[in-house]
Amino acid sequence: MNIYNPTYHLIQKSHLASACEDWPERVAAKFDPLRYGDLPRWLSVVDQLPEIQPSTVDFNARAITIGASSDCDDNTREQLELLLREMCPWRKGPYNLFGLEIDTEWRSDLKWDRLKDHISPLNDRYVLDVGCGNGYHAWRMYGAGAQLVIGVDPTIHYVMQFQAAQHYIQEPRVAVLPLGIDDLPDQLQGFDTVFSMGLLYHRRAPFDHLLQLKGCLRPDGELVLETIVIEGHEGEVLSPRGRYAKMKNVWFIPSVPTLEGWLSRVGFKDIRTVDIGRTTSQEQRVTSWIGSQSLADFLDPQNPHLTVEGYPAPVRAIVVARV
């Protein structure tokens, strides 16, 4: 896709050039309407977005803020809202485009606030965000000073939401590619910081995932891992039968000591658990921009400390480690 050409040009001039030379071909193959029936509609939405010149862009506010209310009239803003609602559900955010607030299911800014003071400064770093969704955190990473932020997510819906924001921002140093971590070269060793947030419990082979993340890091690089955990001692892991909080693709939920042991086993060092907290309805909830169930519907109505299946309700940990 030629929308990525400016980013590819930056990559070709960097130390990533040889390892990532097949990315344009891999990405182009993902934009296949036969694989994603809604793709033509989402492409059309981006094409129809009204041309508005943003007077300002703020990557460090609670909401990724593109432009101001005064940059367009009410009719244009209504047109913008109708088009962006064609891309519902919006999971990660929030965003504010020209005074239009996209109140996403997740208050992703709260997660960023929990981790930002515990990681190495991102100034001038090459950053990879695995399973990045629509790129909310990628924009925050860029706002924190990263030289280049590559987000990868195989869900084309989220990629197109990113493209809607990028339509106005036009920043080639941030990109969300429709790739999964399995599409990346083995032993890429190209990034100073790698983020994996909300992904480990979806992987059938957690050790393989941790080894893939390690392989993406340059020597002395830093991993920022966020995942659901359970209370317990080293060696304790929950492997749900069927669904967990109505999610069907949850395989392993470790205790914090178990997770730290996994990281040590695959070769990480300086392992620090910097935050543990229960997911609340302040952070994950139904809004008009998703129109479906959210956290409150996934928990036991009689006991919010349990999921509807009777498992411990989601508690999330943030762990930082180095190669």
Per-residue pLDDT of 253-291, as tens digits, reads: 999 999 999 999 999 999 999 999 999 999 999 999 998
Question: pLDDT above 70 covers what percent of the chain?
Answer: 100
Residues with Cβ within 8 Å of 1's Cβ and at least 6 positions away in sequence, in order, are 27, 28, 31
Chain centroid to Cα 31, Å, comes to 20
Query: E strands, the chain, where?
Result: 57-58, 64-66, 92-93, 95-97, 100-102, 106-107, 126-130, 148-152, 174-177, 191-197, 217-229, 237-238, 253-254, 269-278, 299-300, 303-307, 315-322
272, 320 contact by CB (below 8 A): yes
Per-residue pLDDT of 18-76, as tens digits, reads: 999 999 999 999 998 888 888 999 999 999 999 999 999 999 999 999 999 999 999 99
Q: Kindly state the average pLDDT of the residues 186-208.
A: 97
Q: Kindly state the average pLDDT of the residues 187-205.
A: 97
pTM given for the model: 0.97
Band the pLDDT of 197: cuts 50, 70, 90.
very high
Q: How far apart are CA 305 and CA 244, in angstroms?
A: 13
pLDDT at residue 195, as a whole number: 98
Q: How far apart are CA 279 and CA 257, in angstroms?
A: 20
pLDDT at residue 37, as a whole number: 86
Q: Kindly state the average pLDDT of the residues 214-220.
A: 97
